[in-house]
Amino acid sequence: MQKIQPFHLAIPVDDLENARSFYRDTLNCKEGRSSDHWVDFDFFGHQLVIHYKKPSGTETPASNPVDGKDVPIPHFGVVLEWDTFQTFAEELKKKGILFIIEPYIRFEGQVGEQATMFFKDPCGNALEFKAFKNIDQLFAK
């Protein structure tokens, strides 16, 4: 199997310090380089950069139904190991994260069965974290 390479993702935030605190202190991401307009983070082995962007007004949130839940569009996140997901979910609950979709098992008993959860950062960016008991199911049809 080919080694998975780290990705780079840049997202807009309208409150750089609040977002910085969230990714560093709530999600426990190690902070890297920064300036007064952006901050790099080690996002579970990947590079996430938050960039300050002035608010552009109100946008209507979009979602798509998946397994009976309204999944926010757009969103991003990471596939974690099963046990890591369980521990991380419990830590987030203790920190008072307001979930869009509480941690649960999606597609239970079907191909692609997975644990998943959704929540937003302080600037409204939706995040999804998921895990597979069998990682070979990641792209299964």
pLDDT by residue (tens digit) across 116-131? 999 999 999 999 999 9
Three-point CA angle 137, 110, 65, nearest 5° = 95
| pLDDT given at position 14 | 94
List, for residues 38-57, the tens digit of each pLDDT value: 999 999 999 999 999 988 77
The CATH class of 1-54 is alpha beta
Supply the CATH classification number for the domain 65-141: 3.10.180.10
Residue 100 scores a pLDDT above 70: yes
How high is the pLDDT of residue 33?
95
**pTM of structure:** 0.90
For tokens 């380089």, name the residue.
33
pLDDT at 1: 52
Share of the chain above pLDDT 90, in %: 74
Residue 117 burial by CB count (10 A; 0-12/13-18/19+): exposed, middle or buried? buried
Query: Residues of CATH 3.10.180.10 domain(s) within the chain?
Result: 1-54, 65-141
